[in-house]
Amino acid sequence: MAYDRHLADKITLYMERKKVNFYEKEMMGGITWMVDEKMSIGIFKGGLMARVGIENFDELVQKPGASQMINGSRPMKGYLTITEEGFDMDKDLEFWIEKCLEFNPKAKSSKKKKKS
Q: How many CB atoms lie within 10 A of CB 22?
A: 19
The answer to whether the CB of 25 falls within 8 A of the CB of 34 is yes
Alpha-carbon distance of 76 to 80, in angstroms, equals: 8
Q: Which amino acid is at 107?
A: A
Q: What is the mean pLDDT of each run of 10 residues along the chain (116 residues)?
A: 85 97 90 95 91 96 96 92 95 98 91 56
Q: How far apart are CA 27 and CA 25, in angstroms?
A: 6
Q: Model pTM?
A: 0.90
Please tell us whether the domain made up of 5-106 is placed in CATH 3.90.550.10: no
Ramachandran bin of 69, using left for φ above 0, alpha for ψ from -120 to 50, beta for the remaining angles: beta
Q: What pLDDT score was predicted for residue 2?
A: 72
